[in-house]
């Protein structure tokens, strides 16, 4: 199976200088591409001068994560694609367990490795950890990371299992599946577009898996810090987009009412914390969602009405009321499986 490792870059010369040598050294059997999102730094000239073995794809504009990959991947011909953030340090042999996963479980369409924190390598990292899930209300969380609580890696997730979503920080996907799904939804621009992609894959009957036998280290926040109000805006709005597009109709509107209330509570929480910009970001996210509702709703495609998309009833309730900070603390009564 031929693997393409595609790194999306925007003004990231320093990140390429820091992390690209390790990607090239540790990715035996993989063809490395850098897709440049119309950078205005010297990223491209630096690549040409120092990494002639890397294939450069130049996008005409900075269309964010979604459009950036959609445009670049038209030029990639391998069978399996790894969409890799530019701020990820890979490890020796990281590709072999992923190849094994796709070979031994051929119904796998999308996968991710273990994502650890580059700044604290003993712990999981925010974006992806040991595989992503969502609750009944559409709020995402991970094994190894619930809200801001990051678990120490004690090999508790050194397994292979189905997950709901794989992180865009290091996402493996079959080229044929990506094309069938028509890639990322460019209305998202950035953040949670991988959740939407995985949800659409589930609706078509595909499997998404995690392997804890492969590890990478992610810096996180290199493009947009986790406490940036823009990220709050995209996360809240794009979560509503995914609910609208991918749930059965009978579930969409009751869930949107619940989210309106809960997102309002989250906004007030930010306000009481002295973070008014995040409060405003949540208001803006809802206004943007309502403005674009008809277009987003029209994108509804195949829906798997029998698919149990959630992993627990309310991760907010479990975390803030029951004080359950670890994935394995969620009781069987709260878990609904996937």
DSSP conformation letters of 222-284: SSS-TT-HHHHHHHHHHHHHHHHHHS-HHHHHHHHHHHHHHHHHHHHHHHHTT-HHHHHHHHH
Mapping DSSP onto H, E and C, the string for 24-90 reads HHHCCCEEEEEEECCCCCCHHHHHHHHCCCCEEEECCCCCHHHHHHHHHHHHCCCCEEEEECCCEEE
> Structure tokens of 170?
């290091």
Indicate the pLDDT class of residue 79, thresholds 50, 70 and 90: very high
pLDDT attached to residue 337: 43
**pTM summary value:** 0.93
pLDDT attached to residue 310: 65
Alpha carbons 283 and 75: distance in angstroms, whole number:
39
Domain positions in the chain are: 3-218, 229-301
Contacts 24+ apart (CB under 8 A), 155-158: 155/212, 156/328, 157/114, 157/129, 157/130, 157/131, 157/210, 157/212, 158/114, 158/212, 158/213
86 burial (CB, 10 Å; 0-12 / 13-18 / 19+) is: buried
> Structure tokens of 111?
């996968």
Architecture field, domain 3-218: Alpha-Beta Complex (3.90)
Task: Give SS3 for 148.
Answer: coil
Strand partners, 157: none
Give the mean model confidence (pLDDT) for residues 175-198: 96
- Mean pLDDT for all residues in the chain: 93
Read off the pLDDT of residues 279-305 as tens digits, 9 standing for 90 and up: 999 999 999 999 999 999 999 998 877
Read off the pLDDT of residues 89-104 as tens digits, 9 standing for 90 and up: 999 999 999 999 999 9
H/E element, 174: strand 170-174
Alpha carbons 61 and 71: distance in angstroms, whole number:
10
155 burial (CB, 10 Å; 0-12 / 13-18 / 19+) is: exposed
pLDDT attached to residue 303: 85
Q: Which has the minimum average pLDDT: 35-39, 115-119, 222-226? A: 222-226
Task: Identify which of 89, 52, 92 has the alpha carbon closest to the alpha carbon of residue 222.
Answer: 89
């Amino acid at each position: 199976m031929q693997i393409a490792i595609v790194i999306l870059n925007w003004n990231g010369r320093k990140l390429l200088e820091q992390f690209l040598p390790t990607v090239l050294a540790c990715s035996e059997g993989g063809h490395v591409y850098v897709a440049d999102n119309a950078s205005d730094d010297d990223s491209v000239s630096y690549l040409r001068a120092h990494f002639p073995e890397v294939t450069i794809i130049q996008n005409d504009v900075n269309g964010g994560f979604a459009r950036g990959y959609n445009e670049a991947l038209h030029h990639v011909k391998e069978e399996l694609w790894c969409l890799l953030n530019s701020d990820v340090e890979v490890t020796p042999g990281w590709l072999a367990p992923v190849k094994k996963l796709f070979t031994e479980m051929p119904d796998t369409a999308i996968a991710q490795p273990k994502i650890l924190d580059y700044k604290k390598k003993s712990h999981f990292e925010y974006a992806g950890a040991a595989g992503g899930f969502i609750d009944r209300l559409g709020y995402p969380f991970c094994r190894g990371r619930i809200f801001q609580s990051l678990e120490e890696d004690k090999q508790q997730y050194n397994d292979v299992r189905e997950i709901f979503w794989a992180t865009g920080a290091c996402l493996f996907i079959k080229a044929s599946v990506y094309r069938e799904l028509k890639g990322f939804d460019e209305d998202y621009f950035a953040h949670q577009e991988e959740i939407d992609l995985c949800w659409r894959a589930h609706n078509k009957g595909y499997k998404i898996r995690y392997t804890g036998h492969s590890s990478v280290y992610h810096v996180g926040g290199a493009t947009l810090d986790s406490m940036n109000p823009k990220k709050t805006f995209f996360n809240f709005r794009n979560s509503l987009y995914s609910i609208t597009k991918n749930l059965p109709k009978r579930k969409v509107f009751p869930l949107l009412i619940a989210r309106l209330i809960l997102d309002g509570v989250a906004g007030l929480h930010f306000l009481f914390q002295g973070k008014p910009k995040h409060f405003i970001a949540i208001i803006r996210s809802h206004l943007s969602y309502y403005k674009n509702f008809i277009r987003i709703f029209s994108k509804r495609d195949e829906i798997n009405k029998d698919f149990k998309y959630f992993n627990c009833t309310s991760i907010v309730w479990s975390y803030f009321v029951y004080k359950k900070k670890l994935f394995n603390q969620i009781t069987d009564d709260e878990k609904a499986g996937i």
